[in-house]
Amino acid sequence: MADLETPEKLTVDLLAEIAGVSDLASLEAVRIRALGQNGVVTRLMKGLAALPPEERKAQGQANNAVKRAVSQAIETRKGALDAAALEARLAEERIDVTLPVRPEATGFIHPISQTMDELMAIFGEMGFTVAEGPDVEDDFHNFTALNIPEDHPARQMHDTFYLPSDGAGTAKLLRTHTSPVQIRTMMSTPPPYRIIAPGRTYRCDSDITHTPMFHQIEGLVIDKATHMGHLKGCLEDFCRAYFEVDDLPLRFRPSYFPFTEPSCEVDIGCARAGGELRIGAGDDWLEILGAGMVHPNVLVNCGLDPGVWQGFAFGLGIERVAMLKYGIPDLRTFFESDIRWLSHYGFAALDQPSLVGGLAR
């Protein structure tokens, strides 16, 4: 039918159709119907050959005008539909960057790490720096230099893990306490010292209150006029800061360690009622740490003159103070890596106000 239409009418019809399509596929269908091999415009052009020569020029110009108008309209419409499609896609794929993120499963800080951080922060504020030593020690640093000679009964108390001899004849062992770090510090750097040494320690022992590997933190202060009063003040400040009880009562009980003289054990005041332990209240006592004035023999063993340098040392179990502060009843659970235990007793990494006083608040 279209063949019979005038070029003007054809143009008007096709332009109307083009304007009416709402998607690219329909537009393509119109293009094929108009400009395709068998399209109405194409046929119109081909019909030119059948016309008498005198009509061809005018008709040819009219046909060309149709073709141009339709091609152009299709291009324009295509541009508009493309832009609209892009707009729609952008709108659909839009991401609201202001929405809060979905919570990701995050890990927890192990109570041992948390406690170590707290201890380091407290002693750090008092001016201590952190020192380290190896887990695999030798007899000299772990015992002999600490005034525990070969036949000393204290060696039996330590239930040492011995390693095969290294060939050079030096007996290796897993350190039974962090005290060898005292020796390493004094032998490698000149005094004065104010160090703490947190780390792993090992004893061949395993029951409800002992694990073969556990953690201690050692403290050493050596200066020219350091005395027992400094030891007392330092440990009092520390215990009060760590347990977050300002008037925490402390008791210094005489004790014995081969490497300190005099030696003491430090107890903190507590109440035990109905299986519940309350720190800082009541009239009961709980042992917390061992301490004393560094034995002159230890200073001599490290090349220091006890007539010039004196000081104090202390050591405490990290699991023990973590259990007390955070109410963890069983020592063994620290090392079972039970994810339920870790998510219950562990600490969030980021939402803590400070290292000192790590209780989530």
What string of DSSP letters covers 26-54?
A: HHHHHHHHHHSTT-HHHHHHHGGGGS-HH
Which listed residue (31, 175, 177, 203) binds ligand PHE by CB under 6 A? 177
Binding characters for ligand PHE, 239-278, by CB under 6 A (x = yes): ------------------x--x------------------
Under rule CB under 6 A, residue 179 binds ligand PHE: yes
Q: Among 298, 288, 295, 215, which Cα is nearest to 253's?
A: 288
Q: Which of 63/216 has CB closer to ligand PHE?
A: 216
Q: Which of 179/185 has CB closer to ligand PHE?
A: 179
Pairwise CA distance, residues 116 & 186, whole Å: 23
Decide if 177 contacts 203 (C-beta within 8 A): no
| Phi, psi (deg, nearest 5) at residue 313 | -135, 155
Under rule CB under 6 A, residue 217 binds ligand PHE: no
Closest separation in Å from C-beta 182 to ligand PHE: 7
Q: Which of 133/315 has CB closer to ligand PHE?
A: 315
Contact partners, residue 181, CB within 8 Å, separation at least 6: 131, 132, 133, 195, 197, 199, 218, 220
Closest separation in Å from C-beta 352 to ligand PHE: 29
Q: Report the relative pairing of strands 129-130 and 193-202 from DSSP bridges.
A: parallel
Q: Among 303, 296, 311, 232, which Cα is nearest to 259's?
A: 296
Closest separation in Å from C-beta 282 to ligand PHE: 26
Pairwise CA distance, residues 14 & 72, whole Å: 12
Q: Which of 110/320 has CB closer to ligand PHE?
A: 320
Q: Which of 39/290 has CB closer to ligand PHE?
A: 290
Q: What is the CA radius of gyration of the chain?
A: 43
Residue number of the CB atom closest to ligand PHE: 315
Q: Which of 21/264 has CB closer to ligand PHE?
A: 264
Closest separation in Å from C-beta 357 to ligand PHE: 25
Q: Which of 11/179 has CB closer to ligand PHE?
A: 179
Closest separation in Å from C-beta 267 to ligand PHE: 14
Please give the sequence-ordered ranges of beta strands (E in DSSP) within the chain, or none if there are none: 129-130, 136-138, 162-163, 172-174, 193-202, 213-223, 250-257, 260-273, 276-279, 284-294, 310-317
Q: Which of 31/177 has CB closer to ligand PHE?
A: 177
Under rule CB under 6 A, residue 128 binds ligand PHE: no
Contact partners, residue 160, CB within 8 Å, separation at least 6: 142, 173, 174, 176, 203, 204
- Contacts with ligand PHE in 289-308 (CB under 6 A)? 290-292
- Contacts with ligand PHE in 20-79 (CB under 6 A)? none
Residues in contact with ligand PHE, counted by CB under 6 A, come to a total of 11
Residues near ligand PHE, by CB under 6 A: 177, 179, 218, 257, 260, 290-292, 313-315
